[in-house]
Structure 1
Amino acid sequence: MGVRVTVGTREANDAAIALISEHTRRGLSPAAEATVTRLREALHRAWPEHTDPVLGISRYALLTPGKLLRPLLLAAAAGAVGGAVERVVPAALAVEYLHVGSLVHDDVIDGDDTRRGKPSVQHRFGVPDAIATGDALMLRTFGSVAECVQRGVPEAAALAAVREISAAGVDVCRGQALEGAMAADPDRPLADYLAMIALKTGALFRGACRAGALLGGAAPEVVDAIGRYADHLGLAFQMHDDLLPYLSDSATAGKSALSDLRNLRPTYPVLLAHETGTAEQRARVAAALSGTLPPEQAYPQLRDVLDETGAVKRAVEHAEAEVALAKSYLDGLGPNQHTAVLAEVADLSVDRRR
């Protein structure tokens, strides 16, 4: 007999959806909110309660108060080029499966106990089931994209979207490996770090946007423009994500502010501080990332250096510049509610308090 893994009663789930919707209303425009609501409802229908452990744990991982950012990007990209959003909903959910599956594996690699404000999969269910669940979610991705054909998307477009999402998944893995190689090394150039986050974070943004444009029937030059938008969006998003431990509490960040330090991971503001700091300040950064200090002691030391060098302020400015670049690639698209959503997502990427 399988182990029953559920996320609570139907009433509890409905209450959770209502709470999420209220949170979303405070941050998104009506057009973006309507798309997110449609996607969230489709996600709940696709993952009913199940006695199978892997399917039940997948439901636990997926049905959390995430913003469904990548699915929203795919749906908005399709709509921005004149496609029917309803036809691409399965593909939009597919990029969430790939994203969440990679997060489940990330938490195993990093040993993180919290994800999106609740116990991570590996912490609650154990490492073996977490690995199996992450695998299952990522494999579900491609079947879900194929479902778009049943909704009227041409087979050639669906195949092209599969290629884009598959390539993005490989790039995410490449970025993960590069990030591991940079551990405890604040001497790495910022260019190396930017190349890494373009893979680890930006690739799935790019894959979602390009796939959405392809599914929506866009011409190659339009697909490329939306891809460039996503490239700069990904950089802005990760730069700001790196700033969250120094701008907000763990409830806002969704994970411990000490996670990066615990894993000896240099992040964008830290590398900025090391690059521009004095020899004494660089030595303090290196000591904080050496693993010789407990994270609880290393964190205030590192924060002091970031304050002294102005690295946090400059990192914010750099993230905002990437947002402006991202939005510039939308100028050639016809103005409609979906193009406006893409611009809105870019602005929200550096203001996640809403």
Structure 2
Amino acid sequence: MTAPADPLSAAHPTLARLLRDLESRWPSDGERVHRISRYALLPAGKLLRPLLLVESARAVGGGYEESLPAALGVEYLHAGSLVHDDVIDGDALRRGRPTVVARYGVADAVVTGDALIMGMFAAVAECADQGLPADRLLDAVRVLARAGVDLCRGQAMEAELCGDAACGLDRYLTMISLKTGALFRGSCHAGALLGGGDATAQRALTGYAEHLGLAFQMHDDLLPYTSEAAATGKSALSDTANGRPTFPVLMAYERADAAERDALRTALRGTLPAPDAFDAVRRVLDSTGALRAARERTRAEVAHAKNCLAELPPTEGCAVLAAIADFSADRER
């Protein structure tokens, strides 16, 4: 039997370089915050955000070396936000091992998350050592700082939606465009800026990232119902236990009858044991066909993302970005 093709195969060389450079910058010795930061960063996750920044720079004629510090800085920002997310949610597992807060406690987790986020600014400034002009760095800092603020806005909005199965898809899509999409947009836009891309290229890459962020989070919301916890590295019960109205749940609510809507509202209210709430949600997802509809909408966002790339010359960077779009809706974690 032939193994399925790896949609990210085109990105493997760049990912390998990013991983080597990340590991070299975070040796195992060092003071406490450094060691905890290393624990948050390594073993690395998918490294999608630094990959997006580097490949966006390459797509407009830039190079790897000059954009590398900023690319790693985006990973610091992302990792710091995840450390804080796990404090907020009380999650004990991430990538199949104890979260920073579970291993080191709340105080160290908050401080380490702060340090990683601040490290992003120093990393972008380091691109000056690679010869990039100051105006590009200033624009990239502005874009990434805005992305960080948008991420926080999305996190706060997610808290507002918790427990509300009737919040509606429009509000949910706004929330994930901020919470998940912000760093995708920021990475691609900053990469285009650092690579010297013009306004047309910046617009194309930002549009690509907007659709990519939606597709990525939509698929992420499907994983508790389509993948084993061992593959995702996180409990399938987390979203239901925290009362989050995720994408397939909201699609189900739109399609559900009165009894099914009541079941969804009850499941997200926090009055049921988490396994029972999860089972109740799963039954409604199955009966309404929401999982299938959610997959179709996710694939449509992938197609929109790839269409945005058509505005750019066909380069190796664009080919990798297209592969990332395919991967976003074809993964188990």
Give the TM-score range, shorter chain.
Answer: over 0.9
Q: Shift of residue 254 of structure 1? A: 2.4
Deviations 1:91-117 (A, max 9, x none): 100100000000000000000000111
CA distance in 1, matches of 2:233, 2:88: 17
For the 8 Å contact 2:7–2:326, the answer to whether it is kept is no
CA distance in 2, matches of 1:126, 1:30: 38
Matches within 5 A, 1:205-244: 205-244=184-223
For the 8 Å contact 1:97–1:138, the answer to whether it is kept is yes
Deviations 1:216-257 (A, max 9, x none): 000012101100100000000000000000010112222110
Structure 1 position 38 matched with structure 2 position 17: yes
CA distance in 2, matches of 1:52, 1:191: 45
One-letter amino acid of the structure 2 residue matched with residue 292 of structure 1? T
Deviations 1:331-352 (A, max 9, x none): 0111111100000000000001
For the 8 Å contact 1:172–1:203, the answer to whether it is kept is yes
CA distance in 2, matches of 1:239, 1:260: 13
Structure 1 position 137 matched with structure 2 position 113: no
Q: Shift of residue 149 of structure 1? A: 0.9
CA distance in 1, matches of 2:58, 2:11: 12
Q: Return the structure number with greater relative CO, CA threshold 8 A, min gap 6.
A: 2
One-letter amino acid of the structure 1 residue matched with residue 294 of structure 2? A
Match of 1:52 among 4, 18, 31: 31
CA distance in 2, matches of 1:100, 1:295: 27
**Structure 2 stretches of 5 or more lacking a match?**
none
Paired residues in the alignment total: 330
- Partner residue in 1 for 2:330: 351
- Partner residue in 1 for 2:40: 61
CA distance in 2, matches of 1:312, 1:77: 32
Match of 2:270 among 271, 291, 294: 291
- Partner residue in 1 for 2:132: 153
The alpha-carbon distance between structure 1 residues 200 and 72, as it changes in their structure 2 partners (threshold 3 A), is same
Corresponding residue SS for 1:329: helix
Query: Could you state the TM-score of these two structures normalised by the residue count of structure 1?
Result: 0.91
Corresponding residue SS for 1:107: helix
One-letter amino acid of the structure 1 residue matched with residue 192 of structure 2? A
Q: Shift of residue 50 of structure 1? A: 2.4
- Partner residue in 1 for 2:295: 316
- Partner residue in 2 for 1:18: none
Structure 1 position 109 matched with structure 2 position 88: yes
- Partner residue in 2 for 1:274: 253
Corresponding residue SS for 2:309: coil
Match of 1:99 among 78, 83, 89: 78
Match of 1:78 among 54, 57, 66: 57
The alpha-carbon distance between structure 1 residues 252 and 65, as it changes in their structure 2 partners (threshold 3 A), is farther
Corresponding residue SS for 2:162: coil
Where does structure 1 differ by over 6 angstroms across 4 or more consecutive aligned residues?
Answer: none
The alpha-carbon distance between structure 1 residues 295 and 27, as it changes in their structure 2 partners (threshold 3 A), is same
- Partner residue in 2 for 1:335: 314
For the 8 Å contact 1:186–1:274, the answer to whether it is kept is yes
CA distance in 1, matches of 2:7, 2:278: 33
The alpha-carbon distance between structure 1 residues 262 and 237, as it changes in their structure 2 partners (threshold 3 A), is same
Deviations 1:131-158 (A, max 9, x none): 0000000000000011111111111111
For the 8 Å contact 2:237–2:278, the answer to whether it is kept is yes
CA distance in 1, matches of 2:148, 2:44: 23
Structure 1 position 188 matched with structure 2 position 167: yes
For the 8 Å contact 1:64–1:116, the answer to whether it is kept is no
CA distance in 1, matches of 2:95, 2:305: 26
Deviations 1:65-108 (A, max 9, x none): 41100000000000000101111000100100000000000000
CA distance in 2, matches of 1:257, 1:90: 35
CA distance in 2, matches of 1:241, 1:80: 27
Matches within 5 A, 1:157-168: 157-168=136-147
- Partner residue in 1 for 2:176: 197
- Partner residue in 1 for 2:69: 90
One-letter amino acid of the structure 1 residue matched with residue 107 of structure 2? P
CA RMSD of aligned residues (A): 1.3
Structure 1 position 254 matched with structure 2 position 205: no
Q: Shift of residue 31 of structure 1? A: 3.8
Q: Shift of residue 26 of structure 1? A: 7.5
The alpha-carbon distance between structure 1 residues 286 and 85, as it changes in their structure 2 partners (threshold 3 A), is same
The alpha-carbon distance between structure 1 residues 180 and 155, as it changes in their structure 2 partners (threshold 3 A), is same
One-letter amino acid of the structure 2 residue matched with residue 247 of structure 1? T
Query: Could you state the TM-score of these two structures normalised by the residue count of structure 2?
Result: 0.97
CA distance in 1, matches of 2:236, 2:137: 40
**Structure 1 stretches of 5 or more lacking a match?**
1-24
